[in-house]
Amino acid sequence: MKKILVIHTGGTISMTADSSGQVRPEAVNPMLAVSPSLEGVELINREPFHLPSPHITCDHMLQLYGLIREMAEQIDGVVITHGTDTLEETAYFLDTMAIPQIPIVLTGAMRSSNELGSDGVYNFLSALRVASHDKSADKGVLVVMNDEIHAAKYVTKTHTTNVSTFQTPTHGPLGVIMKHDILFFKAAEQRVRFDLKQVKGLVPIIKAYAGMTGELFSLLDPDQVSGVVIEAMGAGNLPPEASRQLDKLLQRQIPIVLVSRCFNGIAEPVYGYEGGGVELAGKGVLFVKELNAQKARLKLLIAINAGLSGQALRDYIEG
C-alpha cells in the first residue's frame, strides 16, 4: 500500500461559480471530500491553508516544503492541489529545495467544481496516479494537468482560461498520462538544492518595452531592493537610456538578472550595440537560461537567502 500525502491549498479547483458567474472560494474546501478510488493507494490529507493562488507568498511555499520534509519518512509520494495563477512558481520553488526523492506533483483546475466540464477531480486523480507510479520518483517536482506531465522548471501557464493552459515551451512535456499507464519519454535534469528556513528580500521584475528610458530603474532604492529581474527584449537587449541607468545599481553590488520577454528561446549576450546583450553582460548583468521572469525572481531570491555572492552567485544564476 502506497501512502500519498495530499496537501490542499485552495485555488479554482476548490471554488464554485455563483449565479452571476463569479468564481469564489468555498468556506470549506470541497476537495477534502474527494477521495478517488485508486487500488493500492492510501491518502493522507492536509490543508495548511486555503487561499486563491495570487495570495500565495514565499512563506506559504516554505510551509509546504516544511510539511513535505516533516512527513517524508511516512509517505511514498505527494500531491498538492493549488491555484493555477502561481502554481508554476510554487512548483519551481519546491523543486529548488532539498526535497525527498519521492514523486511530488502539483495540480489544479481551470474550471471551478460546479462548472460544465470541470477538470479538477480528473486532474487530481491523474496527479495521484503519477505520484503513486514507480517511474515518477526522483524526477524533481512535476506538474500534472490535462493528461500531461511537465517539469517544474520549464512549465508555464500560457492561457487565461483554456484547460490545456500549462505548456512547456521549447522542450515539451516530460511524459503523458495514458488510460492505464504513465509514459515518461524525457528525464528531468539534476538540480542544485537548498534547505532554507526563510526567504526574505525585495526583487522586483521590470519588463522592457520600445522607447523605455531609465525612470523605472531610477525609482528603485538600492537600500531597499535585494536584486532586480529584467524581462528584456529578444536575446537579451535594452533601449540605450534604460541600459545606462543600470550602472548605479550595479555599482552598489545589486545583482541584476536578465531573461527574455520572448515565449521561446534562451537569453544570451549576442548583440554588441549600446544596450545590447554583450554590453549588458560586460557590465555584470547575469543572464538566466530558460527561465521566465517569475521563476528567475525566485531563483535570485533563493540564491541571496542561501548566502551566494560574487562568482558563486554568477555560477548558480547562469548555470
As annotated, the active-site residues are: 12
All residues at 6 or more sequence positions from 35 whose CB lies less than 8 Å from its CB, including other chains: 43
Environment class of residue 267 by beta-carbon count within 10 Å: exposed (0-12), middle (13-18) or buried (19+)?
Answer: buried
Q: Look up residue 70 and give its three cell numbers.
A: 516533516
Q: Look up residue 92 and give its three cell numbers.
A: 519551481
DSSP 134: G
Residue 261 in contact with residue 288, Cβ under 8 Å?
A: no
**DSSP class per residue in 169-210:** TTT--SEEE-SS-EEE-S-PPP---B--S-------EEE--T
Compute and round to an integer the Cα radius of gyration of the chain.
Answer: 20
All residues at 6 or more sequence positions from 242 whose CB lies less than 8 Å from its CB, including other chains: 208, 212, 213, 214, 216, 217, 275
Helix (H, G, I), strand (E, B) or coil at 122: helix
Environment class of residue 248 by beta-carbon count within 10 Å: exposed (0-12), middle (13-18) or buried (19+)?
Answer: middle
